[in-house]
With several copies, the nearest count.
Chain A
Amino acid sequence: MSSAVDGPVRGGDAAALPRELLVVEGARQIRDGDLVIVGTGLPLLAATLAQKTHAPEAKLVIESGVMFPKVVPTPVSVVDPRLMHGASRHGSLFEALGGLVQRGLVRTGFLGGAQVDEYANINSTWVPRPDGSQVRLPGSGGANDIASHCEQVVILTNHEKRRFPARCDYITSPGFLGGPGERAKAGLGRLRVKVVTDLCVMEAEDSALVVTALMPGATAEAVLSNTGFIPKFRESLDIVALPDPEEIRLLREEIDPACVYFPERTRP
């Protein structure tokens, strides 16, 4: 995996790593009081960071059936005991994905995927090898359910060309399918998508992804050359705000102190 912006990014007093900035920008997508469904990895770090900063009343839902846990660093699985601690309820997948997500009570979901296409569709099922054979991926899990029922989907990912094809080789989880209006036609509700990469932020709402902000130090050219389609750029491009030192401190000291998800970070 290559990252177009490799070095540390200066933010307040601390030098934020590119992937730390991804997490911080992810956290900013969570509104106080939101129910948020996350797996593990950077999305969980982002959601935990949001709870510790601007969204103390944001609540986590984990697809395995955990509702509203108090996360102990650092869970590596949706059934990790560190992710079951202090919860409101330990229930079932059906309760979490049916009773909360499909029921429409979970506003925001974080997703990943091998491919995210121009219309924000996600592929996590299989991708082709150069020789035409298939690479088998893990599959949907709760991703299809989250993309079908949440109001807002946030995707945190490295910005690589192969990750952003014009069209997914397989649509596991629906963004806007073939284009505007298709989601409604398929019977799906409204959705906003925000893709946060180490280069930029892209957004879509019943549309193709539009670049709305650049990461500090990133350029439009870098975005274009690392994207498999030609994204529109919003006229007034924002620059993603740097983390403040407290956010970096929280991430490093409280949220992932053992660097489980930051092998590139060595603790002092």
Chain B
Amino acid sequence: MHKLLTATEAVARYVEPGAVVGMGGQNINRCPMALVHEVIRQEIGQLTVVGCNLSLPLDMLVACGLVARTEQGTGNLERYGTLFAWRRAVERGEVSVGDHSHLAMATRFAAGALGLPYLPTRSLLGTDLLEDLVTAGVAVEAVDPWSNRPLVLLKAMTPDVALIHANRVDVSGNVVIEGVTSHEVDMVRAARVTIVSAEEVLPAGSFADRPEQVTIPEAYVTAVVAQPFGAFPTSVYRAYDFAEPEVKEYQALGRAGDDELQAWIAANLGDSFEDHLKIRDASGAMREALVAQMGRLV
């Protein structure tokens, strides 16, 4: 089945207001920027955004007032600082938060991926993190019946829609990701619907001679979107490095305030992601440099 849509079509069809959105990417790598820009353009709000590390795309959604809740392991950009819009919205009580460890989030996605109501973990024990998750109704303290030692049961996380960006996908939805996959494979397998944007969309069967190398099989993919540089300004392993000046510019605005962020987003979003890329990098020289930079690293 041919699953190729435009970002506009895919997001309009599959991302609903109030949805639980599984966010792909981590920090400055392979964030689904093109898809998230489209959510912003279509102003789809009241979202619950879930992931392991949430970074740039979440902060943009929060800055645009589209997020009601997040469930995650971390919200930050590591060396480039906190997520300022998210932090402010959380501190003001506008965005509620479910804090997890990264293994706890990965475990919740794995439960969903396996069709199980929960999976156990030996993380979280003894901490306030656990107490809060129990209060939120997503963790239960239990006992291993064999050893009688305590452990924690974590409720399956099954997003309504997962958004990821990949190196390559065929039109049937077979996805190839290079570099680490963070939490994405299990998140996609757990989600009801998945939209994959990719640097390259290839004909059906393009990976059929090496099926071991398919990271996510078509069984889990609903829609496919072609978008070169679709993770910009974050990186795609072996394709292009992340754009540090862009991240720093965003963070400087984030530090300044929500108005500054909103103004920047409004001025730079454009009518399409291609349009956005032209606004930020009219000549293409920045993208060329990021490709060259990655080339020196791999």
Residues of A within 8 A of B (CB): 35, 39-41, 57, 59, 62-68, 70, 72, 76-82, 84-94, 97-105, 121, 125, 133-145, 148-149, 170-174, 177, 182-183, 186-188, 260
Contacts and interface: CB of A to CB of B under 8 A. Distances in A.
A86 to B, nearest CB: 4
A121 B126 CA distance: 10
Contacts of B219: 35, 59, 67-68, 88, 100, 105
Contact of A141 (B74, B211, B212): B74
B285 interface: no
Contact of A98 (B29, B30, B74, B114): B114
B298 interface: yes
Interface string B33-76: 00000000000000000001100000000000000000011111
A144 B102 CA distance: 8
Contacts of B211: 66-67, 84, 86-90
B125 interface: yes
B102 A145 contact: yes
A188 B128 CA distance: 15
Contacts of A97: 101-103, 106
B124 interface: yes
A173 B53 CA distance: 17
A174 B102 contact: no
B263 to A, nearest CB: 23
Contacts of A137: 82
A134 B27 contact: no
A84 to B, nearest CB: 5
Contacts of B103: 93-94, 97-98, 101-102, 142, 144-145
Nearest to B214: A89
A92 B128 contact: no
Nearest to A66: B180
B181 A91 contact: yes
Contacts of B30: 79
Interface stretch (B7-15, B115-123, B250-258, B274-282): B115-123
A93 B29 CA distance: 14
A35 B220 CA distance: 12
10 contacts: A68-B218, A80-B242, A87-B211, A89-B174, A89-B214, A98-B107, A133-B91, A149-B122, A186-B125, A188-B125
Interface SS of A by simple majority: loop
B150 interface: yes
A130 B287 CA distance: 45
Given A65-B180, A86-B205, A125-B129, A77 B79 contact: yes
Contacts of A101: 103, 115
B127 interface: yes
A186 B113 contact: no
A148 B123 contact: yes
Contact of B73 (A62, A77, A79, A141): A141
Given A98-B103, A102-B103, A173-B127, 16 more contacts: A65-B181, A78-B26, A84-B211, A84-B237, A88-B208, A88-B211, A92-B186, A94-B106, A94-B183, A98-B115, A99-B115, A121-B127, A125-B99, A138-B74, A141-B74, A144-B123
B29 A79 contact: yes
Given A81-B241, A145-B102, A172-B129, A136 B29 contact: no
Given A80-B28, A135-B91, A172-B129, A93 B1 contact: no
Given A81-B297, A94-B110, A173-B127, A103 B53 contact: no
Interface string B172-196: 1010001111111110010000000
Interface string B77-101: 1111010001100110000010111
